[in-house]
Amino acid sequence: MGGEEGASTSSIKTNPKLTLLPLIALIFYEVSGGPFGIEDSVRAGGGPLLSLLGFMVFPLFWSIPEALITAELATSFPENGGYVIWISSAFGPFWGFQEGFWKWFSGVMDNALYPVLFLDYLKHSFPIFNTMIARIPAFLGITISLTYLNYRGLHIVGVSAVSLAGFSLLPFLVMGVISIPRIKPKQWLVVDFNKVDWRGYFNSMFWNLNYWDKASTLAGEVENPSKTFPKALLGAVVLVVCSYLIPLLAGTGTLNSPSSEWTDGYFSDVGMLIGGLWLKWWIQAAAAMSNLGLFEAEMSADAFQLLGMSEMGMLPAIFASRSKYGTPTFSILCSATGVIFLSWMSFQEILEFLNFLYSIGMLLEFAAFIKLRIKKPDLHRPYRVPLETFGVTMLCLPPALLLVLVMCLASATTFIVSGIVIIIGILMYPVLVHAKDRKWTQFDDIEQLVVPLDNLDTPRPKQEVSDEASVSLLPDLTSPGINQEVSETSPDATQN
């Protein structure tokens, strides 16, 4: 590990940072990736009406508040730890570690869905992928290939995501244009409440509109995050909502298909009925490419989250070791291993489990956001949600209620599995503290900024700040003396 780091120090320093367009593409793929997988919302909603209303209304009180909160906290703490740093600053390192463990586990479960969805779209044209003898080697091949691409560098992943997003969304734009003369608006109003599966409906809506905070784990890799993040999040919100509504309006307005036919992969049949065989094949190819982009974005976020936790001293130093391409090698391997082990679960099982764990983590994030407004009013916030404490509390209330609703609708199995994951996280923290105290493994990395696992407020070494927002992290994690020094070198550090 040390040799690899030492030999590649110069290449890591010159590794390109993420700019606006690649960051929008990565956020888009962390949240959405296109309309693939939203078909089930029509089936669960008993028709088009609830599905269309959901993708119009849910972003207003879920996606936009989460994106705003992410923009404020990610620019205030522009480090790869993301939400782990937010929670640690508000509630201490124990809860920061729990947040990181829940979110990482949820992210790996989410990533296990994408190779499965990739094969589900292909099986409509290649039935052999219905058989395990073909699915297993195909799944392993996809996972290994995409893991290697992730290893080759975040900049490559970001540029690839831009190309994949364009290719994945273009057929639906074409489908929307072709369908205009055939659309019957009254079909959008169809709903059969006797067929509504509320648990499936809310899980589908929630899954297709969450993970806005994931981009925060890449904050340390973004060029000028204080300006880039808010713009990227706004662009991604518009892109995600349009990518859902355009194909849904086209498909449900043109076709009179029963809601039971709207299952994963059905958009390829919609393309066939609206445009012909060529559009069906294009949508299948776009679905395949989209799921590759989703995999890449999720794995990048999960791996850099582990890297950030290692830089904070919460995980052994090996998790922060970087390849010559600047990517966290061991963290990527851990995430890829988790994907392979979780791949045996069904789509709906994975969806419900990851939603439950994600909900717990998001409730903690909302609480941290409000507490930091109260506890650290002078925290340097390059972007600030234009509301006072009462206003941001009201902003967090609707999405918090949605999170509680999603958790209440979970099955008994989900409660048991999630409970086991939570217990594992609680037990892991003292084990890691003990391992650090006994020096069983190395936690300190001389090239990284490390915060002791058992004391987040221990003074940190002074570092060169490459972005004006970076100074915000230092006052939170340093002693009063160093805090004063930072304030003197950055007059804006105490302004909101």
pLDDT in tens, 270-287: 999 999 999 998 988 888
- The whole-number pLDDT of residue 363 equals 94
Q: Is the pLDDT of residue 487 over 60?
A: no
- Residue 348 or 190, more confident: 190
Cβ contact 32:346 at 8 Å: no
- The whole-number pLDDT of residue 216 equals 78
Q: Which two tokens stand for residue 260?
A: 């039971």
- The whole-number pLDDT of residue 15 equals 58
202-211 residue pLDDT tens: 888 888 888 8
When mean pLDDT is compared across 308-322, 324-338, 445-459, the lowest value belongs to 445-459
Q: Which two tokens stand for residue 419?
A: 């409970």
- The whole-number pLDDT of residue 264 equals 77
- Residue 288 or 346, more confident: 288
- The whole-number pLDDT of residue 467 equals 38
- The whole-number pLDDT of residue 12 equals 42
Where residue 211 falls (left for φ over 0; alpha for ψ -120 to 50; beta otherwise) is left
182-207 residue pLDDT tens: 999 999 999 999 999 988 888 888 88
pLDDT band at residue 157 using 50, 70 and 90 as cut-offs: low
Q: Is the pLDDT of residue 447 over 80?
A: no
**C-alpha span between 273 and 253 (Å, rounded):** 13
**C-alpha span between 156 and 319 (Å, rounded):** 21
Q: Is the pLDDT of residue 88 over 50?
A: yes
- Residue 491 or 377, more confident: 377
Cβ contact 99:84 at 8 Å: yes
Which whole number is the average pLDDT over 112-123?
74
∠ CA 411-416-417, nearest 5°, is: 100
- The whole-number pLDDT of residue 213 equals 83
Q: Is the pLDDT of residue 49 over 90?
A: yes
C-alpha 182 chain-centroid distance: 37
Q: Is the pLDDT of residue 492 over 50?
A: no
**C-alpha span between 196 and 206 (Å, rounded):** 16
Residue type, 455: N
Give the predicted TM-score (pTM) of the model. 0.74
- The whole-number pLDDT of residue 343 equals 67
pLDDT band at residue 116 using 50, 70 and 90 as cut-offs: confident
Length of the chain: 496
- The whole-number pLDDT of residue 96 equals 92
Q: Is the pLDDT of residue 253 over 90?
A: yes
Where residue 265 falls (left for φ over 0; alpha for ψ -120 to 50; beta otherwise) is left
Q: Which two tokens stand for residue 441?
A: 């493994």
- Residue 210 or 470, more confident: 210
pLDDT band at residue 51 using 50, 70 and 90 as cut-offs: very high
- The whole-number pLDDT of residue 405 equals 87
Which whole number is the average pLDDT over 327-332?
81
CA nearest neighbour of 494 among 479, 481, 483, 480:
483
416-443 residue pLDDT tens: 989 999 999 999 999 998 888 888 887 7
Q: Using CA of residue 307, residue 310, residue 315, residue 317, what is the dihedral sign?
A: positive
Helix (H, G, I), strand (E, B), or coil: what is residue 456? coil
Domains annotated for the chain, with CATH where assigned, are 2-453 (1.20.1740.10)
Q: Is the pLDDT of residue 245 over 90?
A: yes
Q: Is the pLDDT of residue 399 over 50?
A: yes
When mean pLDDT is compared across 333-347, 379-393, 463-477, the lowest value belongs to 463-477
CA nearest neighbour of 306 among 297, 291, 317:
317
Q: Is the pLDDT of residue 217 over 80?
A: no
Share the mean pLDDT of the chain: 79
- The whole-number pLDDT of residue 186 equals 92
Q: Tell the residue number behind the tokens 């009925």, with chain if given.
A: 273
Distances (CA, A) of 496 to 331, 377, 381, 478: 35, 8, 5, 19
**C-alpha span between 432 and 316 (Å, rounded):** 8
- The whole-number pLDDT of residue 392 equals 92
Q: Which range, 159-173, 301-315, 371-385, 438-452, has the best average confidence (pLDDT)?
A: 371-385
Which whole number is the average pLDDT over 208-229?
79
pLDDT band at residue 480 using 50, 70 and 90 as cut-offs: very low
* Helix ranges (DSSP H) in 123-224: 132-151, 154-179, 198-208
Provide Rg for the chain, Cα atoms. 22
Q: 406 phi and psi, to 5 degrees? A: -60, -40
- The whole-number pLDDT of residue 246 equals 94
pLDDT band at residue 493 using 50, 70 and 90 as cut-offs: very low
- Residue 457 or 20, more confident: 20
29-65 CB burial, b ≥16 within 10 A, e <16: bbbbbbbbbbbbbbbbbbbbbbbbebbeebbeebbbb
Long-range contacts of 489-493 (CB under 8 A, 24+ apart): 490/380, 490/465, 492/380, 492/468, 493/380
- Residue 471 or 139, more confident: 139
Q: Which range, 3-17, 325-339, 474-488, has the best average confidence (pLDDT)?
A: 325-339
CA nearest neighbour of 276 among 197, 174, 183:
174
**C-alpha span between 310 and 442 (Å, rounded):** 10
Cβ contact 492:468 at 8 Å: yes
